[in-house]
Amino acid sequence: MKKGILVVISGPSGTGKGTICNRILSEMDNIEFSTSMTTRDPREGEIDGVHYFFVTKDEFEKAISEDAFVEYADVYGNYYGTLRKEVNARLDSGTDVLLDIDVQGAMNVMKDYPKETFIFIRPPSLEELEKRLKGRGTDSAEVISRRLSEAEHEISLADEYGYQVVNDDLDEAVAEVKKIICEEHDKKAR
């Protein structure tokens, strides 16, 4: 049985990672999303166990002590982590796994799994990123300004990734990411 590939989608908050991941999941076969655990509060419409596993800080720290995570990070004051149970069984059974994680998390996965597929999603510009964060309407002005000030540093790390895709026109960005996944799958499914 060939194993699946791990596809890590990363980049600044508001750059369109979630939007691109949703398109990938609805348009491609044989790839599933790894639902992360987080201590942040659910946004309107978010479902526990689908978008995230929403837990308390104590519950998250218990999971850390049980070595439940492939990686975890403190992102803008909340914990977020990739659960081993979301990733390993799928890869073993030949299903590709999609992660939507922040840049520090991606760097940690890169250290442990350097041969996996890392895609940095770039915003067309910082001005456009600010527009998208504001337009999404899910975060306070304070949270948005924190996310924007992180974005510049995050973009400076883009060259560490195997692939970079600019999310200007959404359809084009989705097509590029799909092409990368197909090619890596054919090359690496093992």
CA distance 42 to 45: 8
Residues whose CB is less than 8 angstroms from the CB of residue 160 and which lie 6 or more positions away in sequence, other chains included: 107, 110, 118
Residue 64 interacting partner from ligand 5GP, ligand ADP, none (CB closer than 5 to 8 Å by kind)? none
164 is a contact residue toward ligand ADP (CB under 6 A) = no
154 is a contact residue toward ligand 5GP (CB under 6 A) = no
Residue 19 interacting partner from ligand 5GP, ligand ADP, none (CB closer than 5 to 8 Å by kind)? ligand ADP
Of positions 99, 132, 155, 161, contacts ligand ADP by CB under 6 A:
132
123 is a contact residue toward ligand ADP (CB under 6 A) = no
User: Does the CA dihedral 14-20-25-31 come out positive or negative?
Assistant: negative
120 is a contact residue toward ligand 5GP (CB under 6 A) = no
Within 10 Å of residue 109's Cβ, how many Cβ atoms?
A: 20
Residues 93, 97, 103, 105, Cα dihedral to 10°: -30
Within 10 Å of residue 91's Cβ, how many Cβ atoms?
A: 16
Which CB, 28 or 53, lies closer to ligand 5GP?
A: 53
Residues in contact with ligand 5GP by CB under 6 A are 13, 17, 36, 40, 71, 73, 75, 80-82, 100-102, 105
